[in-house]
């Protein structure tokens, strides 16, 4: 089943992420896809904030660091797979530590390869619609 919404500003996307977060419980992979600048990190700010794992201002793009960890008891991972070629790289970089305990893992560029994990997954696609408009599709 597809669910679709359109946002008209970065703030609206973050707001929606905060509400969306209420539906998420660990263990879960949140697979984000969408072009550069489509709003994956912006949305993640809202999700992480909504989960109560960190303040939105502290959520920054893991473009160079590859992975950020928020929260204490229940962890929220935020990773960017843009520079990672395959599952082997993912393991070599220690990123599979995500799966040690039930957590919520939010992955940007998740379409780059398939992760081998039995965890439930929710896919969120972001698309540019011109200007500040974005379509967000959940499946």
CB nearer to Mg ion: pick between 14 and 41:
41
- Interface residue with ligand ATP, options 18, 21, 30, 39 (CB under 6 A): 39
User: How far apart are alpha carbons 70 and 116 in whole angstroms?
Assistant: 23
Which window, 21-29, 40-48, 95-103, 110-118, contacts ligand ATP (CB under 6 A)? Answer: 40-48
Rounded least distance, CB 84 to Mg ion, Å: 14
| Cα dihedral 37, 126, 9, 81 sign | negative
User: How far apart are alpha carbons 43 and 17 in whole angstroms?
Assistant: 5
Which window, 7-15, 30-38, 56-64, 88-96, contacts Mg ion (CB under 5 A)? Answer: 56-64
3-state secondary structure (DSSP) of residue 22: helix
Give the CA diameter of the chain. 41
User: How far apart are alpha carbons 113 and 100 in whole angstroms?
Assistant: 20
What are the residues binding Mg ion (CB under 5 A)? Answer: 40-41, 61, 108
What are the residues binding ligand ATP (CB under 6 A)? Answer: 7-10, 12-13, 34, 36-42, 61, 108, 132, 134
């Amino acid at each position: 089943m597809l669910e679709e919404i359109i946002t008209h500003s970065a703030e609206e996307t973050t707001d929606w992420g905060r509400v969306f977060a209420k539906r998420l419980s660990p263990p879960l992979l949140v697979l984000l896809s969408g072009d550069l600048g489509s709003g994956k990190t912006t949305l993640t700010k809202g999700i992480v904030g909504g989960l109560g794992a960190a303040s939105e201002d502290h959520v920054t793009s893991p473009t160079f660091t590859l992975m950020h960890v928020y929260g204490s008891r229940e962890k929220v991972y935020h990773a960017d797979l843009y520079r990672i070629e395959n599952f082997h790289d993912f393991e070599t970089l220690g990123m599979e530590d995500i799966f040690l305990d039930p957590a919520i893992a939010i992955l940007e560029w998740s379409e780059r390869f398939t992760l081998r994990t039995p965890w439930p997954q929710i896919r969120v696609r972001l698309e540019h619609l011109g200007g500040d408009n974005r379509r967000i599709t959940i499946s």
